[in-house]
Chain A
Amino acid sequence: MVDKYQNSIIKVRGLTKRFGKFTAVDNLNFDVSQSEIFGFLGANGAGKTTAIKILCGLSSPSEGNAEVAGFDVYKQTENIKKNIGYMSQSFSLYEDMTIVENIRFYGGIYGMPLTLLKERTNHMLNRLKMTEYANKLIKEIPLGWKQKLAFSVATLHRPKIVFLDEPTGGVDPITRRQFWDLIYEAIDIGITVFVTTHYMDEAEYCHRVSIMVDGKIAALDTPDNLKQQYNAKSMNEVFLQLARKK
């Protein structure tokens, strides 16, 4: 029998994570295919960050299986790390280093050749219109810039998948729109995007979304199908219905 998900780049089967008696992630099952934007939605504390940490190899699951880019989350975390990019809610650029120093550093530790690194750095700074600020310290630039920069750095080494954990917290709608432009450019070159958010308008931009409630996946489909299924005008309504149900 041919597995219809044979080509999926993330495979999750029965994934569970417990902290003592508390089950943060409860029996997750889903697949993500290449170049897809997979939205991972849920209220605060629904278990999104825990799940994403397992998929990135930062944390081990208690039960179940998962494969990321073809590698096992129990044993092959170091291989996973070579193939992914990650951007967390608290960003992780060094505040006391300049834009270009941060780019160089992260590019360097992913083993990018210097010429390629230079080329991509220039391209990236151009694209972000930050060329003339290349030597500014991170702590001197606005939040929205930091987020766009953090995303570009996370995809600098062209990973197969990039995990974004609440990437757009605390910025204005225009900046968020620009941020999503960057995401679309990333999938154009074949990167898969796995993004958690609690902005429901952003959910509309995803190819497919899953909605987590209390550690479980309550719904998973394209935004249009979900709206139809729940007879809702927006993803926000879908989400509210699901949250009320429990």
Chain B
Amino acid sequence: MRTILFLLQKEFIQIFRNKTMLPIIFIMPLVQMLVLVFAANLEMKNIKMKLVDFDNTATSQEIVSKFKASPFYNIIGYSYSVEEAQNSLIDNSADLVMVIPPNLEQDILNGQSPKVQLLIDAINGMTAGLINSYSSMIMLDVNKDIAIELMKFSANQQLKQISIKQRFWYNSGLNYKHYMVPGIIVILVTIIGMFLTALNIVSEKEFGTIEQINVTPIRKYQFILGKLIPFLLVGLFDFALGLFIGKLLFGVPIRGSLFLLFSFAFLYLVLVLGIGLLLSIISDTQQQVMFLTFFITLVFVLMSGLFTPIETMPLWAQRVNIINPFAYFMKVNRMILLKGSGFFDLIREFLYIGIYGIISIVVAIRLYRKTS
């Protein structure tokens, strides 16, 4: 126990004296929260639309006005040539071109079904899907209005209307930032925990100090605890800092129990640090460990459900996510913060992360050799 205290004292002295480490611990969370949360935005609030209205009647005007009324669309101009309008897709000045055919109104009155064309820049499949979804909702509205008009006009009979009440729970304003903040906090905590642990141990290798430690009677578990505890504390600190910024700056609610949240964060950090330890054991230089960590983080973050739900992924990807630590914490953090989910909703995640963490530490202790 005393040995561990001496190890801890040494680690803290080194952390607080390290000019690269301190900004990473204290400044990076701030910058990441500010830049990432604002940048990582997949809601479409400003769809640039170009209009080609060949009809130019009251009905076509009505369609246009529906789009204008939506907060999502920004009509950037009109054109009378489809080709010219398409060019604005190519030079990125528009995301969407709407082409209203000639004789639209006349066709409707004649009982035909005219087609309004939507040309969407679909290189970003995700936003294109959203644009399509928004646009069809508006057109659905248009259709309903026209249908009702026509029905009133043709038969004086009662209409059957199903009114739909939409309610968005836990995030009634559909604030995308509330969704992103918990995810970004997870990334932040993981990167800091994993990178710092891995780099720290590899740099002791590079400077040869680890050899000096290896000839002392320190036990493996003591050495490893001495390395893990400081970064565990740093990780928890940054987690708290992230939550604080999220609450203060973005108004992210904390609906569930903070104790539950921090308990999970603790287990999660044990796992992440264990992985960092493993990475450092199999690497010889800081460059290697940096690349390795970067690679693993990148793959895991992309698969973690940060911006697309895991349920939409193919089955094999969902299976891969069983070993993806990010995926668990991402889910749990969102559930506890935004929905106030309780322990019984999260038993499975607690169990997995707990067991997984123990495995990673045990493997790390096994693999770590005091002899070469």
Asked if B212 and A53 sit within 8 Å, CB to CB, the answer is: no
B156 cross-chain contacts in A, Cβ below 8 A: none
Identify which of B10, B14, B212 contacts A88 (C-beta below 8 A): B212
B214 CB within 8 Å of chain A? yes
Asked if A77 and B212 sit within 8 Å, CB to CB, the answer is: no
B3 CB within 8 Å of chain A? yes
Asked if B14 and A53 sit within 8 Å, CB to CB, the answer is: no
A151 cross-chain contacts in B, Cβ below 8 A: none
B43 CB within 8 Å of chain A? no
Asked if A105 and B3 sit within 8 Å, CB to CB, the answer is: no
Identify which of B2, B14, B207, B216 contacts A97 (C-beta below 8 A): B14
Asked if B13 and A58 sit within 8 Å, CB to CB, the answer is: no
Q: Given contacts A97-B14, A109-B218, A110-B217, are A88 and B211 in contact (CB under 8 A)?
A: yes
Within 8 A of B (CB), among A58-72: 58-60
Task: Identify the closest chain B residue to A114 (Cβ).
Answer: B2
Identify which of A60, A86, A111 contacts B2 (C-beta below 8 A): A111
CB distance from B220 to the nearest CB of A (A): 10
Task: Identify the closest chain A residue to B18 (Cβ).
Answer: A96
B215 CB within 8 Å of chain A? yes
Identify which of B2, B10, B207, B211 contacts A58 (C-beta below 8 A): B211
B372 cross-chain contacts in A, Cβ below 8 A: 53, 58-59
CB distance from A88 to the nearest CB of B (A): 6
Binary B-proximity of A79-115 (CB < 8 A = 1, otherwise 0): 0011010101011111111000100111011110000
A90 cross-chain contacts in B, Cβ below 8 A: 207-208
Query: Main secondary structure on chain A at its contact with chain B?
Result: loop
B40 CB within 8 Å of chain A? no
Q: Give bound CA distance, A110 to B212, whole Å.
A: 12
Asked if B216 and A81 sit within 8 Å, CB to CB, the answer is: yes
Asked if A94 and B18 sit within 8 Å, CB to CB, the answer is: no
Q: Give bound CA distance, A106 to B209, whole Å.
A: 12
B214 cross-chain contacts in A, Cβ below 8 A: 58
Q: Give bound CA distance, A88 to B213, whole Å.
A: 11
Q: Give bound CA distance, A104 to B13, whole Å.
A: 12
Task: Identify the closest chain A residue to B6 (Cβ).
Answer: A108
Q: Give bound CA distance, A29 to B13, whole Å.
A: 44
CB distance from B19 to the nearest CB of A (A): 10
Task: Identify the closest chain A residue to B220 (Cβ).
Answer: A78
Q: Give bound CA distance, A112 to B10, whole Å.
A: 16
B14 cross-chain contacts in A, Cβ below 8 A: 94, 96-97
Please give the number of chain A residues whose Cβ is less than 8 angstroms from any Cβ of chain B in the complex.
Answer: 29
Asked if B215 and A101 sit within 8 Å, CB to CB, the answer is: no
Asked if A77 and B371 sit within 8 Å, CB to CB, the answer is: yes
Q: Give bound CA distance, A53 to B369, whole Å.
A: 14
Identify which of A92, A95, A106 contacts B211 (C-beta below 8 A): A92
Asked if A104 and B6 sit within 8 Å, CB to CB, the answer is: yes
A57 CB within 8 Å of chain B? yes
A51 CB within 8 Å of chain B? no
B85 CB within 8 Å of chain A? no
Q: Given contacts A110-B216, A110-B217, are A94 and B10 in contact (CB under 8 A)?
A: yes
Q: Give bound CA distance, A81 to B3, whole Å.
A: 15
Asked if A94 and B3 sit within 8 Å, CB to CB, the answer is: no
CB distance from B14 to the nearest CB of A (A): 6
Binary A-proximity of B195-224 (CB < 8 A = 1, otherwise 0): 000000000000111011111111100000
Asked if B371 and A57 sit within 8 Å, CB to CB, the answer is: yes
Q: Give bound CA distance, A110 to B371, whole Å.
A: 18
Identify which of B211, B216, B371 contacts A109 (C-beta below 8 A): B216
Q: Give bound CA distance, A81 to B14, whole Å.
A: 25
CB distance from B190 to the nearest CB of A (A): 26
CB distance from A106 to the nearest CB of B (A): 7
Asked if A92 and B208 sit within 8 Å, CB to CB, the answer is: yes
Asked if B208 and A58 sit within 8 Å, CB to CB, the answer is: no
B137 CB within 8 Å of chain A? no
CB distance from B221 to the nearest CB of A (A): 13
Asked if A96 and B6 sit within 8 Å, CB to CB, the answer is: no
CB distance from B371 to the nearest CB of A (A): 6
B5 CB within 8 Å of chain A? yes
A60 cross-chain contacts in B, Cβ below 8 A: 371
B152 cross-chain contacts in A, Cβ below 8 A: none
Binary B-proximity of A123-161 (CB < 8 A = 1, otherwise 0): 000000000000000000000000000000000000000
CB distance from A141 to the nearest CB of B (A): 16
Q: Given contacts A90-B208, A92-B208, A95-B207, are A58 and B215 in contact (CB under 8 A)?
A: yes
Task: Identify the closest chain B residue to A105 (Cβ).
Answer: B10
A217 CB within 8 Å of chain B? no
B41 CB within 8 Å of chain A? no
A56 CB within 8 Å of chain B? yes
B319 CB within 8 Å of chain A? no
Task: Identify the closest chain B residue to A89 (Cβ).
Answer: B208
Q: Give bound CA distance, A46 to B211, whole Å.
A: 21
A/B interface sample: 6 pairs, CB < 8 A:
A59-B371, A78-B217, A78-B219, A94-B10, A97-B14, A109-B6
- For the complex of A and B, list the 4 residue pairs with the smallest distance between their C-beta atoms, beginning with the closest: A108-B6, A92-B212, A86-B215, A90-B208
Q: A59-B372, A92-B212, A93-B209 are in contact. List 19 more A-B contacts (CB 8 A).
A: A53-B372, A57-B215, A57-B371, A58-B214, A78-B217, A81-B215, A84-B215, A88-B211, A88-B212, A92-B207, A94-B14, A94-B209, A96-B18, A101-B13, A105-B9, A108-B2, A109-B213, A109-B218, A111-B3
